[in-house]
A and B are shown apart, each in its own frame.
Chain A
Amino acid sequence: MNQIARIILLAAICIPAQAQQLVFMDEEEQVGIPYLTVIVSEQARTLHLFTDAQGRLNLPALNYPVRLQTSHINYPALSDTLRSATNKTYGLKAKINALNDVIVTGQFAPQSVRNSVFRVATITREEIENRGAITLEQALQNRLNMRISQDLAIGNATVSLQGISAQNVKILIDGVPLVNRNGNGNAADLSQINLQQIERLEIVEGPMAINYGANALAGVVNLITKKDFERSTEVSAFVQSETAGNEAGPRNGKHVQSLQVNKKLSKKWSLLSHIQHNDFQGFTGSAPLRTHEWNPKNQLLGSLLVKFETPKKSIYYRGEALNELIEDFGRPQNNFQPNGQNQPFAIDETYTSQRHTHQLQAEGRSDVFKQYNLFLSFSDFQRQKSRFSKNLINGEERLTTGEGDQDLSTYRVWESGGSTQLSVGSKTAIQLGYQLSLEKVGGGRIAKGRQGIEEYSVYSSAEWMIHPKLVLRPGVRFTHNSGFGQQLIPALQVKYELSSLNQLRLSYSRGFRAPSVRELYFEFVDSNHRIFGNPNLKPETSHHIGLNLVAHYSLGKQAVQTDINLFYNQIEDQIGIGQLPNDITSATYININQFKTLGINIQKQATWRELGVALGAAYVGRSNRLQNLSPSLEQYLYSPELNAHISYHFKAWGSRLNLYYKYTGKLQSYFVGSENNTIQLGGIEDYHWLEATINQHISKRWQMLLGARNLFNIRQLSNSGAGGGAHSGGSSVALSYGRSYFIKISYNLQFK
C-alpha cells in the first residue's frame, strides 16, 4: 500500500500540470452544485476554489496528497484526501432548511422548494425552537412583509402580509383553514395558535385562491403538523417562564408547561399527543388598581394525532382543543349605601374561547390517481363574553344585564376538500380538486342571531414542462357561494430554471376575499350608531403580479443565497363603511374602496463555519382610495423594513447564540382629517425589534434556552394617523409589554 502510494506520488510529481477535474453533484437531484467552496490544502499552502455553474472544478497542479474540504450553505461539509490527480465525482446530500426542503402548500405532491412553481418560504422547527416561540405571533415577529397588530381590548394579535390586512391572510393547518372568531382561516388570532406540534411553517405570498379559495388574497401561512418520529416512544416536556417587561415571578409574567408523548403502536399505527398550559399573568404596567395594560390570558390546549400508514397511503385523524380565558379586571368604583357605608364594586369581563377541531385526512397513491389527498374537518369555535359586577367587600359576583353584556359568538364549520394528480404524458401533470365548506355563525350582533354561508368549489391546475427549464402552471377555480353567487378565478405561474440553484418565477394570479359574516349580517344600534350588514356585498377581488428570483453567487470565499421578490397587488371593490342607500341615517358595509400595494424585498443568507447570517430588506408601498382619487398625492406611501438573523454555534460549549432583528419603518397613510376636510398624512412610528437567545445543551436529555425579547424595550408606537370622529382612537398603538426575559428547560426521553 505504502509502495503504491509512493509510486503514485512519484507519478504526480513527474507528470506536472496534468488536468484533473472534480465534479460535485447533488445526490437527489443529480445535477452539479455551482459555487461550492472547495478548500484544497497542500502541505504548504491552502487554496480556496469554486465549482463552476455545472458543479465542475478543474484543479491546478498540486503537490499530492492534498486534503479537500467543501463548504456550502445548503450542503454539509465533505472532506476527502486526494493522493493523486484523478477525475472524481462526489455526491452531496442537501441539508434540510435549504432549497431542497420538502414543502406541500399548493403542490400537486410533496416536493422540494426548488421545484415548486411558486416561491414557498419556510420556518423550520429548529427556528421555532431556537426562538422559544410558543405561539405563531412570536415565530413571525421579524419576518419581512409582515406586520403584527395587537388589540388590547380583546387580547388578540393579527398579521398583515404585503401591506394587506389580516382579513386576507389565510392561516391553514395541514391545508385546512383554521376557524377562529373572525373567520374561516383569515384574520385569525395568532396568539391562539400554538406551535408545539408544528413541524414547520410554509408561507406563500400572493393569492393562493386556486387551491385555497377565498381570503388568501395576500397569501397563506400553512402550519404543517408533526406526523413522523423515529423512535418507538418519545417523551418530551418543557417548562418556560417569561417575564412581562420588568414584572417577574410566579404570579407575574408568562409560564408554560408542555408535555408531548409520541408512540408507535405497531408498524402501521402510531400516535402523537400533546398537552400544554400557557399561563400569562398579565402586565400591570402603570394601569390603575386591579387593572392591567395587558390582560391575563390562560390557555389550555392539547392535540392528538392517530396515524395509520402503509407504503401506499396514510390516513390520520387529528383532534385539537383550545380553551382560553382572558380576564379583564375593572377598576374599583365606589357605591355608597343609604346608610353611608361604601360597598365598592368593579365591573369585570371575561372572554372564554373554546375551539375543537376534528380532522380526518388521507393521502397516498393509487393506480388511477398518482397522488391524492382528501380531508374532512369539523371545527367548532365559540367565545363567551361575560360581564359581571363584583362586590369588592363580600366578593359577590353577578352578571350584568346591559344589552350585549353577555354574548356568545359561535363559528362552526364543516369543511371537506380533496385533490388528485393525474399525469398526462411525461411533461404534463394535472391537478383536480374540490372544496366545500358549510359555515354557521352565531352571535348577539348578527342579524337574527344566526347566519350561514355555504361554498362549493372545484379547481384545476396543470404543470406543463414546456422545456426542461421552463414550467408553466395555469389554474382556474370555480366557486359557488350562497352569499355572492358564482365566481371564476384564474392564475398563471411560470418557473424558469436558470441553473440548478438559480430560479426565476413569475406569477399572475387573482384572489378574492368573501364578505365576512359580520359585513353581511352585522347589526348594531345605539344612541349614536346605526350600523347594519349588507347581504348584497360582492367579494373583494385582487390582481397580483409577483416576480421571484432565487440565486446563488460567491462572495469572497462563501456562497451566498439571494432571494429577490417583487410584487404588486391591486384590490378592487374593497369593503368599507358607507351609507345605506334607502336609509341614510344608517351606515353599512359597501364595496367602495380600492387598495394597492407594491414592494420589493431582498434576502441574503450565508454560513461561515459556525456563523450563519441572513439579512433582508423590504420596501413596501401602499395606496388607498384617497390616493386613487387625488392624483396630486403621493401615489404610494412606502415603508422600509430591514431584518437580520445571526447565529453562532459555540461548538466547544454546545451552545448556540441566535439574534433576530427587525426594523419596521413608519407606516404612513392618508386620511380625511380634522383640517378643513382636507386630506392629511399620518402614520404609526417606526421601531426596532431585537431578540436574542442562547440554546445550551446540558446533557443527552436536558436542554436549556435563555432568551430576551424586545431588547429595545418598546411598548407603544405613537400614531398620528387616527381619523376624526368620536372615536379618534388612541394616539398610540400597543406593540408589547416591553423587554422580557425567558428561560426554557426541556427534557427528552427516547426508547429504542
Chain B
Amino acid sequence: MIKIKRTPFYAALLAAGLFSCTEDDGPVTIPPTESAVMDPSVGGPNQPNQVFVDLSTETQTSVARNHWDLAFYTGSEFRVLLNNSTSALADELAKTDLTAVSAEDTTGWGARLDIDAIFGTLFGPQRPEWLPEAATWMDDPSGDLSTTAIASIKSNADDNPVYIINRGKNPDGSQRGWKKVKITRNGSAYVLQHANIGAESFEQLTIQKNADSDFVYVSFEDGIVSVAPSKTEWDMVFTVFTNLLPIDASTRIPYAYKDYILTNAGRVEVAQVQAEGDVTYEGFSHAQISTVSFKSQVSAIGSGWRVVAQPGSDQQTGVKEDVFYIIKDTESNYYKLRFTRLVDPVSGERGHPQFQYQLLVP
C-alpha cells in the first residue's frame, strides 16, 4: 500500500530525528506522565479547533482550524500542503504568471472545485467526467508527501504553475473564498505569491524552512502563523479531516469526517486492541506489548474509535468501548489509551472527546 511508498520518507525523518537528538542532547529530562484523563478542546459540534496532544507532558495545543491555509514542508523536499481540515482544494492552471490569471480562467470552477459540489454530483443525473479527478485536488489523506494537490516546487520558477485554491469552509459552514497562488523557491526558502482571483496585484511572502517543525504554516491574511507544536512535542491531533470516500472501485471523492485523529507522521506508532476475554484495558501490561501489532499510518486511530448514529440504523453516537490503543509516543514511551466519551455529557453534542491513558512500564 501507501506505506511502502513512504518508507524512505519515514526513514529520512527518523534519521533526522535521531540526528537532532544527538545535537540537542538536553540535560534536563522530565519523567513522562504516568496516567491522565484529557478533554481535548475540540470545541463542540462545529469542531472549530485542531487539538494537538502530547501524552508524555499531558499538554494540549488548540488552534482554530481556519487559522491557516498552507503548510510548507521544512524537510529537504519542497512540498506545500493545503488545509485539509477546512476541505480546501486546489487545481492548477496552464499559466505560470499570477497576474495573467483572471476570473475567466476559472469559469465554472465553483461547480467542481468545491467539496459540496463534488458530493452533490452523486445526486445529479449523470456523474461528470471530471469526478475521478477530484481526488487529486486535495493532498492524499495518507499524508504521503509525494501525492499532494500542489506539485513539488521546482527550482526553475517558470516550471511552477499558478494554482487556484478554494479555501474550503469555516466551522460555521460559510465559504472561505478563493485565491490564486504561485509558489517558487528562493534557495532553501519558499516564495509565495497570492491574490484574489480577479486581482491585478499580489502579495508576496518568503517562508524559511526551520529544523524545529515539520511545517511552516501560512495564512493568506496573517502571514506565518503558529499551528503545530514542534516536531516531537505532539503525538496526535484531533481534527476535522477531509478523507477520500470511495464511491466506486476507481473513484474517490473528498468527504469531511469529524472527530478524526491523526498521529504524528513517522514518530508515533499505534496498535488498536480489541477488548475481549482476558484482554482488557485495565489488565493490559507492558509484557503484552509484543502481542499487538503496531501501525505507523497517520490514520492508525482515525475514526476507528467511535460510532456515529446513521439514519435507519439503531447504532448510537459514542465511543467504541471494546476498543483501546497502545501508543508508542514520540519519545518511545508506551501508553495504553482508551477513549471514554465522544459527546458532551450535558449537551449531547459531538466534539467533546475525552480519553484516559496510562504509561506502560516493564
Contact = CB atoms under 8 A, between A and B. Distances in A.
Contact of A577 (B116, B123, B318): B123
A678 interface: yes
Interface in B156-174: 169, 173
Interface in B101-129: 111, 114, 116-117, 119-125, 127
Nearest to B319: A333
A280 to B, nearest CB: 15
B11 to A, nearest CB: 35
Interface stretch (A14-22, A128-136, A243-251, A524-532): A524-532
A347 B315 CA distance: 12
B120 A586 contact: yes
Contacts of A525: 173
B94 interface: no
Nearest to A730: B313
B312 interface: yes
A303 interface: no
Given A579-B121, A585-B117, A586-B120, A398 B346 contact: yes
B40 to A, nearest CB: 13
B116 A402 contact: no
Contacts of A364: none
Given A578-B125, A727-B310, A333 B340 contact: yes
Given A340-B37, A405-B348, A579-B120, A676 B248 contact: yes
Interface string A290-308: 0111010000000000000
Contact of A336 (B245, B311, B348, B354): B354
A400 B347 contact: yes
Residues of A contacting B: mostly? loop
Interface stretch (A221-229, A383-391, A429-437, A614-622): A383-391
Interface string A340-354: 100101010000000
B27 interface: no
A368 interface: no
Interface in A690-745: 724-727, 729-730
Interface string A673-699: 111111000000000000000000000
A398 B249 CA distance: 45
Interface string A391-405: 100000010111101
Contacts of A587: 120, 123
A288 interface: yes
A361 B124 CA distance: 48
A336 B38 CA distance: 9
A555 interface: no
Interface in B174-224: none
B291 interface: no
Contacts of A604: none
A389 B119 contact: no
A402 B123 contact: no
Contact of B345 (A335, A577, A672): A335
Interface stretch (B55-63, B64-72, B138-146, B251-259): B251-259
Given A584-B124, A724-B247, A331 B316 contact: yes
B331 interface: no
B356 A677 contact: no
Contact of B312 (A153, A334, A578): A153
Contacts of B278: none
Contacts of B349: 400-402
A585 B240 CA distance: 20
A724 B347 contact: no
A584 B120 contact: yes
B124 A293 contact: no
Contacts of A340: 37
A525 B321 CA distance: 30
Nearest to A680: B248
A285 to B, nearest CB: 11
A673 B127 CA distance: 13
A394 to B, nearest CB: 12
Contacts of A331: 316, 318, 321
A584 B117 contact: yes
Nearest to B309: A153
B342 A725 contact: no
A65 interface: no
B345 A403 contact: no
A583 B127 CA distance: 16
A330 interface: yes
A674 B313 contact: no
Contact of B116 (A334, A400, A530): A530
Contacts of B344: 389
Secondary structure at chain B's binding surface: helix, strand, loop or mixed?
A: loop
B136 interface: no
Nearest to B35: A340
Contacts of B342: 333
Nearest to B322: A288
B250 interface: yes
Nearest to A388: B348
B289 interface: no
A336 B356 contact: yes
A152 B248 contact: no
B275 interface: no
B251 A291 contact: no
Interface string B299-323: 0000000000111111011110100
A389 B314 contact: no
Contact of B250 (A328, A580, A677, A729): A677
A673 B121 CA distance: 15
Interface in B309-362: 309-314, 316-319, 321, 340-350, 354, 356
A592 B123 CA distance: 11
A291 B311 CA distance: 17
A42 interface: no
Contacts of B32: none
A488 B205 CA distance: 69
A726 B114 CA distance: 18
A230 interface: no
A333 B249 contact: no
Nearest to B314: A152
B171 to A, nearest CB: 9
Contacts of A27: none
Interface string B211-248: 00000000000000000000000000000100001111
B92 to A, nearest CB: 22
A527 B317 CA distance: 16
B45 interface: yes
A677 B314 contact: no
Contacts of B119: 528, 585
23 contacts: A153-B309, A153-B311, A293-B314, A334-B340, A336-B354, A336-B356, A340-B37, A343-B345, A347-B317, A347-B348, A389-B344, A400-B346, A402-B347, A403-B45, A527-B240, A528-B256, A577-B123, A585-B116, A585-B119, A585-B120, A592-B125, A674-B246, A676-B250
Given A330-B318, A579-B121, 18 more contacts: A153-B313, A292-B314, A333-B340, A336-B354, A391-B345, A401-B347, A402-B45, A403-B45, A525-B173, A584-B121, A585-B120, A674-B249, A676-B248, A677-B250, A724-B247, A726-B255, A729-B313, A730-B312
For the complex of A and B, the 7 pairs showing the least CB-CB separation, nearest first, are A400-B348, A585-B116, A334-B340, A336-B37, A402-B349, A587-B123, A401-B347
